[in-house]
Amino acid sequence: MKIDSKINPHFLLCYDNSASSAKALFYLKSVFENTYVDVTLLKIIEHPEIHVLQESKLIKKLIHEEEIEKRAKEDYLRTEAELKEVAESLKAKIKGNCYIKVIFKYSNVVQDILRIACDNLYDAIIVGKRGLSKISTYILGGVTHKLINISCVPVWLIRGEKWNKKFLVALDLGETGLKVADYVSFILSFHKDATITFFHNFYPFSDIKEFEGSIEELLKITKNPEYKEYFLKLKNVLEENKIFCERIQLVLKRGIFGPAGEIIRFAKKNDYSTVIIGRRGRSGLKELLLGSVSQKIISYFEDRAIWVIS
């Protein structure tokens, strides 16, 4: 019986038969197995007309519009059949629904993805390490980089091959941190096997040198009014999403390596295969990622999933 009668989280997985998109698919199968989530598989293909326009004028004259449309329909149906098989393999693992979507690319891949993601109110755009298809074989710095920087929808960058159900959330003490917590608690409220840790790097002169425990325990011992106010808000966010505070472990510490370094060290030491970060800093101004905490984490990990929350 389905619990809570809530709307399932719905993810948009950009799939192209490549090894990187296969890893993203395997991530969903492994991490969200037996979980109520919905997934739409998206594949962007070139319209045959693109190739025709690149051919000589003589060849263009010999190919009629009807032939182009025939080829387009064949490509579409073939791709649709391929995605249906992939969707069936995923549906065998998750408890939600699996859908497929095939579109032709005429111009900008990023804009096509964002238009679909925003119009359909998906909860995440999921991409592998290297772009989305043969028409966009970009490493970070191309399609994926643009998605991370401008998407209004959270982007999950999937790397690695070995997954567990441990989630490390980089917690910023500001509106961005509450937004990240709201998002994570919504997604993982459906995931009863998830181990969730919120990690915060203390300011230099905080009243606590380090802490590991629950939100309730922290509220009892901290004398810092900013911390009290923030963690009370955090507690309310979790409760609104029907996720018990007891499921959340807080780890707060001061370290010599800076926020990015401490997050990386903690994730490696404790084997978190998913690291969750916000795209914007404490000031609320948009970061350009280059040199930021987010960029350092994204650039460092080659064997984990990184959720970037806008």
Q: How much is the pLDDT for 51?
A: 53
Q: What mean pLDDT, rounded, does the chain reach?
A: 84
Identify the domain boundary among 136, 158, 180. Answer: 158
Claim to verify: residue 205 and residue 254 sit in the same structural domain:
yes
Q: Give the residue, 202 or 162, on which the prediction is more confident.
A: 162
Helix, strand and coil percent figures for the chain, each rounded to 5:
45, 20, 35
The yes-or-no verdict on residue 1 having pLDDT over 60 is: no
Q: Give the residue, 50 or 152, on which the prediction is more confident.
A: 152
Structural domain harbouring 193: 166-309
Name the pTM for this structure: 0.86
Claim to verify: residue 48 and residue 89 sit in the same structural domain:
yes
Tokens of 168: 């490390």
203 belongs to a structural domain: yes
Identify the domain boundary among 124, 141, 158. Answer: 158
Identify the domain boundary among 131, 158, 185. Answer: 158
Claim to verify: residue 138 and residue 14 sit in the same structural domain:
yes
Claim to verify: residue 87 and residue 187 sit in the same structural domain:
no
Claim to verify: residue 68 and residue 85 sit in the same structural domain:
yes
Q: What backbone torsions phi and psi does residue 32 show, to the nearest 5 degrees?
A: -110, 25
pLDDT band at 131 (very low <50, low <70, confident <90, very high): very low
Q: CATH no. for residue 260?
A: 3.40.50.620
Claim to verify: residue 171 and residue 297 sit in the same structural domain:
yes
Claim to verify: residue 206 and residue 232 sit in the same structural domain:
yes
pLDDT band at 137 (very low <50, low <70, confident <90, very high): very low
Question: Residue 58: exposed, middle, or buried by beta-carbon count in 10 A (0-12, 13-18, 19+)?
Answer: exposed
Domain count, the chain: 2
Instruction: Specify the amino acid at residue 24.
Output: A
Claim to verify: residue 47 and residue 149 sit in the same structural domain:
yes
Q: How much is the pLDDT for 133?
A: 43
pLDDT band at 161 (very low <50, low <70, confident <90, very high): confident
pLDDT band at 203 (very low <50, low <70, confident <90, very high): low
Q: How much is the pLDDT for 204?
A: 54
The yes-or-no verdict on residue 184 having pLDDT over 60 is: yes
Note the pLDDT tens digit of each residue in 264-282: 999 999 999 999 999 764 4
The CA–CA distances, whole Å, from 180 to 6, 137, 167, 309 equal: 20, 30, 13, 6
Sign of CA dihedral 137, 138, 139, 140: negative
The yes-or-no verdict on residue 188 having pLDDT over 80 is: yes
